Amino acid sequence: MTNGTGPLPLTTVMSSSAAPGLLSAASETDLREAAARHLPPAYRALVAATRAPFLQTIQDLSVRRMAVGRIALVGDAAFIPRPHTAASTAKAASNALALVDALKRETDIPAALRAWEPDQIQFGLHLRRQGKLMGDQSQKRYPEPRPA
């Protein structure tokens, strides 16, 4: 990946993003032209008004296990839903509330975590699928507009 100052070192956190003001001129032009062609008016206006656009990749994170022994992963430590699902905070709260319920039903912590984990894994995988579907739909290539 490159930014406005050249190639980014692979060791930098920015290898998958470009901070405001660091997009290359060509990338910024491409972004603005694509926005003008494809976005609804309100979003076109937002892109046009943005002085220093930035780029951030969206990556999926999920785990196979959320509980081992007496240790539990909750929230984004286990699954990071894509931002367009708007589910990260709700998922963390849901994980925590379900964990409280499991611990009320079972005093043996490893047993409570084993009972709690399957539903939480299924919920995380569901959000991952939904986020990918939403992202895929938002990235469809549309034909160039026809001349009026």
pLDDT per residue as tens digits for the range 91-139: 999 999 999 999 999 999 999 999 999 999 999 999 999 998 888 877 7
In whole angstroms, how far apart are CA 68 and each of 73, 94, 114, 128, 145? 9, 19, 8, 22, 54
Q: How confident is the model at residue 6 (pLDDT cuts 50, 70, 90)?
A: low
**pTM (two decimals):** 0.69
Q: Phi, psi at residue 55, to the nearest 5°? A: -130, 130
Q: How confident is the model at residue 8 (pLDDT cuts 50, 70, 90)?
A: low
